[in-house]
Amino acid sequence: MERLIFDYSEPGRRAADLPRCEEGMSADPLLAPFIDERLTPLPEVSEQEVIRHYIALSGLNYHVDKGIYPLGSCTMKYNPKLNETAARMEGFSHVHPYSADEDVQGLLGLLYDLEKELKVITGMDSFTFQPAAGAQGELAGIKIFKKYFDCKNEKRTKIIVPDSAHGTNPATSAMAGFDVITIPSNKQGGVDLAALEEAMNEDVAGLMLTNPNTLGLFDKNILKIASIVHKKGGLLYYDGANLNACMGISRPGDMGFDIVHLNLHKTFSTPHGGGGPGSGPIGVKKHLRDYLPVPLVEKKGRRFFLDYDLAHSIGKLHGFYGNFGVVVKAYVYVKKLGTKGLRHASRMACLNANYLQKRLRKKYRLAYDRICKHEFVLSGDKFKKYGVRTLDIAKRMLDYGVHAPTVYFPLIVDEALMIEPTETESKQTLDRFVEIMCTIADEARKNPELLHEAPLNTPVSRLDEAGAVKEPDLAYQGDL
Ligand SMILES: *Cc1c(COP(=O)(O)O)cnc(C)c1O
């Protein structure tokens, strides 16, 4: 592949063209003994040049401060800047990790208080903030499955996962040493009860489920599902990444789940593009509290302390308090919105998704014809006869200045486009999004070639994305 050199502000500009400091001014004499001549020299530029460089780069990038980011399942909502200010406060950001409990009472109090809020929101009994992401929360949860049955001397080797599940669910089960049984979805996009009943027996540790699922559909059979699993002694794990649809409306604890993970960086607002930072706290019902990773935050009288004394703890998952900055942002978000505000956010998320679904189904096939929750899935399959694939549609969207939805997921929908507008977009933005997607649908019919070439207006065109992830080339590519 041809090497790419980004032109930041003027075409063809490279670091070598940037003004250099004069000879002798470059290195701080105090640092000189530490500078190894064999290392790649860094460009020497003024503060102003550095700032211009990064501002230009951020302009090339697409982010939620620039426009709608309708990635299904990932909840890329607007993240209030107030959260950032709070997370940066010195009392939080400058705490020494080895501080004694007595010296970090405010910090422990915040963890304790947010746990209290999350217990009310989810209907669970105890939380840990240790996991650094949803996937790590899943691993913690499934390790608890394992330990729980080990302690009961039961040999259970399998976990059931529906075919609509997020990829991390089967991956987590396999990583924790379980065999994965995939069960099909029914015509309404929910769990096929007969298939679940057939798969569920005393070899099965439990079920991993998200509700609403990745099709954005709420499974009304959830109590029956829970009872099928519990009757055979299994546990239910709730993938809470879709909680944006149900804050203040429905609770996994009431649906019969034993363990849940939340994605604070999705539902409770932290910018998380590019893989982090995240926080994936898990909550459990009473009978599983002593299996949680240590430490838990507890309160005795008016004093908060870290409790390491749990009979069956799966151990330690993360240093110190977890990704504490993300927890602070979630805390500010929950406190600022309050109970009513959280419910309003979820209602708006569902309303926005249904508005888009209703308008877009005229041009795209709607995969499941039902009222959706916070997201929905379209199929681009009717454009295949023009030689146009969903990937082409997604790439063309970039030309119109919007981020594409999630594509080719969930796997059970052919040519899937998974759309989650979130609660934070205005009707004008949603209408513009509809207009763009409808224009592209027309282009797909009339001018398929155009879509094959897209994107034409972006700083770089189609990249080998899988290759870039597997073999990232991070070397500086300007001339020095
Ligand atoms: C994002 C997501 C996950 C994984 O969470 P990470 O924080 O990205 O590890 C799991 N399940 C669903 C449904 C998700 O959307």
Domain check: are 271 and 393 in the same one?
no
Residue nearest to atom 8 of ligand 1 (CA): 134
The answer to whether the peptide bond before residue 410 is cis (omega within 30 degrees of 0) is yes
| Ligand 1 proximity of 418 Cβ (cutoff 6 Å) | no
Domain check: are 45 and 91 in the same one?
no
Domain check: are 366 and 401 in the same one?
yes
Per-residue pLDDT at 31: 59
Domain check: are 281 and 423 in the same one?
no
Q: What is the pLDDT of residues 331-377, one digit of tens each?
A: 999 999 999 999 999 999 999 999 999 999 999 999 999 999 999 99
User: With 70 as the cut, is the pLDDT of residue 26 above it?
Assistant: no
Domain check: are 226 and 299 in the same one?
yes
Instruction: Estimate to the nearest angstrom the gap between the alpha carbon of 419 and the chain centroid.
Output: 14
Domain check: are 318 and 348 in the same one?
no
CA 229 to centroid of ligand 1, rounded, Å:
23
Encoded tokens for 191: 């769990």
Per-residue pLDDT at 465: 83
Q: What value does the mean pLDDT of the chain take?
A: 91
8 Å CB contact between 264 and 330? yes
Domain check: are 358 and 320 in the same one?
no
Q: Give 254's pLDDT tier (boundaries 50, 70, 90).
A: very high
Domain check: are 385 and 419 in the same one?
yes
Q: Give 37's pLDDT tier (boundaries 50, 70, 90).
A: low
CA 280 to centroid of ligand 1, rounded, Å:
9
Q: Give 474's pLDDT tier (boundaries 50, 70, 90).
A: confident
CA 332 to centroid of ligand 1, rounded, Å:
22
Residue nearest to atom 14 of ligand 1 (CA): 241
User: With 60 as the cut, is the pLDDT of residue 5 above it?
Assistant: no
User: With 50 as the cut, is the pLDDT of residue 14 above it?
Assistant: no
Domain check: are 232 and 375 in the same one?
no
Across 215-219, 319-323, 458-462, 471-475, the highest mean pLDDT is recorded for: 215-219
Ligand 1 atom nearest to CA at 275: 8
Domain termination residue (choose one: 336, 351, 373): 336
CB atoms closer than 10 angstroms to residue 38: 4
CA 184 to centroid of ligand 1, rounded, Å:
21
| Structural domains in the chain (count) | 3
**Domain assignment present for 100:** yes
CA 75 to centroid of ligand 1, rounded, Å:
10
User: With 60 as the cut, is the pLDDT of residue 16 above it?
Assistant: no
Domain of 91, in residue numbers: 81-336
Across 427-438, average pLDDT:
98
The kind and range of the H/E element at 452 are helix 448-453
Q: What is the pLDDT of residues 121-163, one digit of tens each?
A: 999 999 999 999 999 999 999 999 999 999 999 999 999 999 9
Domain check: are 145 and 244 in the same one?
yes
Ligand 1 atom nearest to CA at 239: 11
**Domain assignment present for 62:** no
User: With 60 as the cut, is the pLDDT of residue 478 above it?
Assistant: no
CA distances from 26 to 18, 401, 478 (A): 14, 41, 19
**Domain assignment present for 31:** yes
CA 73 to centroid of ligand 1, rounded, Å:
7
pTM: 0.89
| Ligand 1 proximity of 239 Cβ (cutoff 6 Å) | yes
User: With 60 as the cut, is the pLDDT of residue 441 above it?
Assistant: yes
Domain termination residue (choose one: 303, 318, 336): 336
Q: What is the CATH number of the domain that holds 294?
A: 3.40.640.10
**Domain assignment present for 64:** no
**Residue 283: strand pairing partners:** 127, 260
Per-residue pLDDT at 310: 97
Task: List the single range of 16-25, 266-275, 356-365 with lowest mean pLDDT.
Answer: 16-25
Residues in CB range of 61: below 8 A, 6 or more apart? none
Across 9-18, average pLDDT:
43
8 Å CB contact between 36 and 389? no
**Domain assignment present for 2:** no
Per-residue pLDDT at 99: 95
**Domain assignment present for 474:** no
Domain check: are 157 and 288 in the same one?
yes
Domain termination residue (choose one: 294, 314, 336): 336
The kind and range of the H/E element at 271 are none
| Ligand 1 proximity of 406 Cβ (cutoff 6 Å) | no
Q: What is the CATH number of the domain that holds 399?
A: 3.90.1150.10
**Domain assignment present for 69:** no
Domain check: are 53 and 94 in the same one?
no
**Domain assignment present for 172:** yes
Ligand 1 atom nearest to CA at 278: 7
